[in-house]
């Protein structure tokens, strides 16, 4: 059996169970194949003085076997918002002893990083110490955000040159990586997966009433229902969706996700007098997501940049068309009117896209066909083939 050591700063734990679930599902699907033994180290940044969210997070930094994946959660010293340039070195320092011990007990075949920054440069040092081939995956903001910070870009490009192979979630993201100075010929596309048993069109008869009861909300069955799924940040563009509501009368908006932008978004909704139509749900149980998506008329996510968002794929699988911007792999996914529309990243563009979908609502079954290529089994098969080529090279 082949053995991979994966490094991921974004991974679910008992305190933040929705944090990086797409990484967990990918690693679990790989482990479920039976031909790969998967060990994942999830370094957790903890500041010298515990406060706020960091106290319960530190308490959840525990190890264990989770769905056949051996998970270790060492901590590293974190300076919130200021220590980004030092994080790769601090992560490597916190992980290297554990990695050497695990490698001595049962040797790994390669080291893998689940994000390009800070995971990539940290994994590069660990791979060097263990004398193993390195793979690094790009997912979106690790390229679009960190790739344009000179200190991070230098580390990322250096790590890419050490790597035996690179991964990207879309062709568009691979092109962005090449523009940063990475070798496009060594980038393999590994698209996101999907739990097809969970994410599928659900019967709309009474689903809004059921969802309203679950959420404690009154959701009119005869009014448009929009959903936006993503962390509450400027990059995701929730303010554009809220600002479009005066142009979409009676529409209700469910905002799924948490983040620092919530206060500003709530203030915007009050200013525009649409706060009674905007519902902040925070992080929700993953089992509720198919119901939310199936109940909605459109999933609206005007991100400034993406790789190929899991939320896009999950919405399509539930029969819900997209209103998104020309970011990342959008054009690789929206290849038919059944999938939705790609709009200008402006209030007017978002409002026009919503009105277009509401006026020409595609059948959920036709929308769901646009996500047929995605599954976690396919993701794992692609990953296993790519990893095998690296260790045979």
**Do both 291 and 231 map to the same domain?**
yes
Do 148 and 168 lie in one domain? The reply is yes
339 band by pLDDT with thresholds 50, 70 and 90: very high
Is position 122 within any domain? Answer: yes
Q: How many domains does the chain have?
A: 2
Share of the chain above pLDDT 90, in %: 84
Do 246 and 143 belong to one domain?
Answer: no
* Structural domain span for residue 254: 207-371
CB 265 within 8 A of CB 239: yes
Q: How far is it, in rounded angstroms, from Cα 257 to Cα 282?
A: 5
**Are 366 and 385 members of one domain?**
no
Report if residue 198 sits inside a domain: no
The two most distant CA atoms of the chain are separated, in Å, by 64
Cis peptide before 118 (omega within 30 of 0): yes
Most confident of the following: 202-206, 209-213, 377-381:
377-381
Considering the domain architecture, whether residues 152 and 235 belong to the same structural domain is answered as: no
State the Cα–Cα distance between residues 344 and 342, nearest whole angstrom.
7
Q: Rounded distance, CA 226 to CA 365, Å? A: 18
The pair of structure tokens assigned to 44 is: 């957790």
Position 200 in a domain: no
| Residue 45 placed within a domain | yes
Do residue 379 and residue 357 come from a single domain? no
pLDDT at 174: 96
Question: 250 in a domain, yes or no?
Answer: yes
CATH number for position 23: 3.40.50.2000
pLDDT digits (tens, 9 = 90+) for 299-318: 999 999 898 999 999 999 99
23 lies in the same domain as 69: yes
Q: What is the pTM of this model?
A: 0.88
Q: Are residues 166 and 307 in the same domain?
A: no
Q: Which structure tokens are listed for 213?
A: 């009861």
To the nearest 10 degrees (0 to 180), the angle between helices 376-392 and 21-32 is: 70
Q: Are residues 84 and 186 in the same domain?
A: yes
Same domain, 252 and 310: yes
Kindly state the tokens that stand for 172: 């568009």
Residues 242 and 157 in one domain: no
- Judge if 146 and 8 occupy the same domain: yes
């Amino acid at each position: 059996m082949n053995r991979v050591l994966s490094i991921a700063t974004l991974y679910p734990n008992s305190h933040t169970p929705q944090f990086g679930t797409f990484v967990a599902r990918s690693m679990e699907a790989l482990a479920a194949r039976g031909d790969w033994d998967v060990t994942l180290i999830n370094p957790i940044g903890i500041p010298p003085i515990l406060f706020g969210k960091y106290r319960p997070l530190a308490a959840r930094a525990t190890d264990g076997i989770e769905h056949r994946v051996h998970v270790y959660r060492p901590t590293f010293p974190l300076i919130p918002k200021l220590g980004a340039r030092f994080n790769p070195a601090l992560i490597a320092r916190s992980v290297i002893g554990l990695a050497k011990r695990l490698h001595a007990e049962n040797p790994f075949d390669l080291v893998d990083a689940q994000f390009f920054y800070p995971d990539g440069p940290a994994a590069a040092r660990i791979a060097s110490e263990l004398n193993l081939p390195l793979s690094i995956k790009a997912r979106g903001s690790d390229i679009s955000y960190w790739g344009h910070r000179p200190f991070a870009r230098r580390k990322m490009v250096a790590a890419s040159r050490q790597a035996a192979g690179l991964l990207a979630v879309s062709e568009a993201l691979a092109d962005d990586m090449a523009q940063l100075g990475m070798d496009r010929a060594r980038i393999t596309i590994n698209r996101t997966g999907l739990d097809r048993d969970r994410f599928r069109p659900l019967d709309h008869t009474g689903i809004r009433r059921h969802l309203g009861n679950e959420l404690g909300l009154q959701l009119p069955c005869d009014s448009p229902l929009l959903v936006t799924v993503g962390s509450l940040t400027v990059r995701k563009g929730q303010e554009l969706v809220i600002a479009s509501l005066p142009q979409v009368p009676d529409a209700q908006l469910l905002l799924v996700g948490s983040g620092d932008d919530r206060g500003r978004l709530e203030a915007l909704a009050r200013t525009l007098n649409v706060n009674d139509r905007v519902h902040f749900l925070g992080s929700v149980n993953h089992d509720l997501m198919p119901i939310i998506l199936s109940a909605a008329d459109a999933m609206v996510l005007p991100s400034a940049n993406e790789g190929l968002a899991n939320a896009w794929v999950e919405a399509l699988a539930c029969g819900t068309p997209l209103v998104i911007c020309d970011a990342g792999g959008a054009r690789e996914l929206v290849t038919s009117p059944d999938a939705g529309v790609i709009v200008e990243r402006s209030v007017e563009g978002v409002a026009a896209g919503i009105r277009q979908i509401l006026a020409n609502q595609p059948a959920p079954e036709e929308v769901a066909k646009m996500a047929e290529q995605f599954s976690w089994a396919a993701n794992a098969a692609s990953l296993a083939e790519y990893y095998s080529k690296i260790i045979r090279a």
